Amino acid sequence: MPRRPRFCPKNVPAHIIQRGNNRQAIFAAESDLAAYAHWLREAAEKFQVKIHGWVFMTNHVHLLLTPSNDSGITKLIQSLGLRYSRHSNYTYARTGSLSDGRFKSCLVEDHNYLLTCLQYIELNPLRAGMVTDPGHYPWSSYRSHAFGLPVRMLSPHPLYRSLGENPKQRQQAYRQRITQQLDQAVITKIRHYINTGMALGSDKFKAQIHALTN
């Protein structure tokens, strides 16, 4: 039986994870990360997907996206995967797809869960022991949210904008928020929902998604 396509409806934020085959490294050099970021931005513009947050780890990536149409995220991931696989295969004399099958996705209720999901994404390098401060990791959206680093592909979510009346206030509020470590129960819940493809949100939100997906 063919697998059902990922359902990422328009105007609903989605937490996306793409892993390397057999958890192998996706990025071997800074130039790989820069190329991936460039093609991610191009694909987001082409397929009309807003990027609210990201982190590029050694063997996987996390993205927080909102599409403007039902097929936007799927097309973005397919286009990005094809371009980056070609780059990696040519650069490192390898063959085949770099990604581990289909991407994982979890729809996220913006009102209650989006900023927590964003915090989970940006704290990945800290949990992995790669840095002692999320601001020391250059390949995430944290420095844009916390310090105003300009990045063309970032579309700050309205909930982030609501943290303050101006950029300085929003950055300060976000830095204060990010210092609050997520409870292990919250981390476990987010991981469970992304692994199972369930909607992360209130019962009302889940009912709305259920109605959309039958």
Residue with tokens 């944290």: 142
Backbone angles phi, psi at 18, to 5 degrees: -125, 125
CATH label, 14-206, candidates 3.30.70.1290, 1.10.3720.10, 3.30.530.20, 3.30.1370.60 = 3.30.70.1290
> What pTM does this model have?
0.92
51-76 residue pLDDT tens: 999 999 999 999 999 999 999 999 99
pLDDT tens, position by position, 17-26: 998 876 788 8
Percent of the chain with pLDDT over 70: 92
Is the pLDDT at 2 greater than 50? The verdict is no
* Torsion sign, CA atoms 29, 171, 175, 184: negative
Q: What is the pLDDT of residues 166-192, one digit of tens each?
A: 999 999 999 999 887 789 999 999 999
15 touches 187 (CB < 8 A): no
Supply the mean pLDDT for the chain. 90
Distance of CA 108 to the CA centre of its chain: 11
Q: How far is CA 133 from CA 27, 130, 149, 160, 178, in A?
A: 21, 9, 16, 20, 10
d(CA 90, CA 18): 21
Going by C-alpha positions, the residue among 14, 82, 18 that lies closest to residue 49 is: 14
> Residue ranges of the domains in the chain?
14-206
User: Would the pLDDT of 142 be above 60?
Assistant: yes
